[in-house]
Amino acid sequence: MSEPTIGVLALQGDVREHIAALNACGAQAIPVRRRAELDAVDGLVIPGGESTAMSRLLGVFDLYDPLVARLRDGLPAYGSCAGMIMLASRILDTRPDARHLDALDITVRRNAFGRQVESFEADLAFSGITDLPGAEPMRAVFIRAPWVEEAGPGVDVLATVDEGPAAGRVVAVRQRNVLATSFHPEVTGDVRVHQFFVDMVGAA
């Protein structure tokens, strides 16, 4: 696949930033708000935002059931921050009426790193990216971020926090065609996570 079409769910979050990063990696990126747009993509990015509001908006736009169906059929997906929460199978500290997409066998905790004022940055080792020859650590931006409390046996852990009170917490995972990070790579200018996902879409 020379130029995959990758959608960015355009209900909340850094939609333009994700589209710019994907385009920089050789994909044709489009915003997705309608069923026809979802049907046209080879992969989908679910950006940050507020996960309970996002789950409600998926219903308002009649995208929830079609998206669940496409994910079950193997649609490659990448979720950042709230996108990780949406893709998870189990969510801690959420509202009882919030729905999720059940595409990753993980348990996540919402707002695990604290409130907006406790946002922070950290350098990470990211398996498959920073372990390449000559690669530098990845600067990760965490904004009201979740972390992975538990990952199932089929889930690959790609990155953990190395220092501070959250040392050892899992912040990037992959299970087959689904990728998720606690942090926001679209805000740093480092497109390596997006390139990693574009390559996943191409391989799928």
Active-site residues, by number, are 81, 184, 186
In sequence order, what are the beta bridge partners of 107?
Answer: 90, 150
- 2 labelled ligand-binding: no
* Cα 109 from Cα 94, distance rounded (Å): 8
Tokens of 91: 């969510």
- 51 labelled ligand-binding: yes
Question: For residues 50 and 82, is the Cβ–Cβ distance under 8 A?
Answer: yes
| Helix ranges (DSSP H) in the chain | 15-24, 35-39, 51-60, 64-72, 82-87, 192-203
- 110 labelled ligand-binding: yes
Tokens of 180: 């998720």
- 19 labelled ligand-binding: no
End-to-end Cα separation, the chain, in angstroms: 9
- 49 labelled ligand-binding: yes
**Binding site per annotation, positions:** 49-51, 110, 143-144
Q: Which residues are annotated as a binding site for L-glutamine?
A: 49-51, 110, 143-144
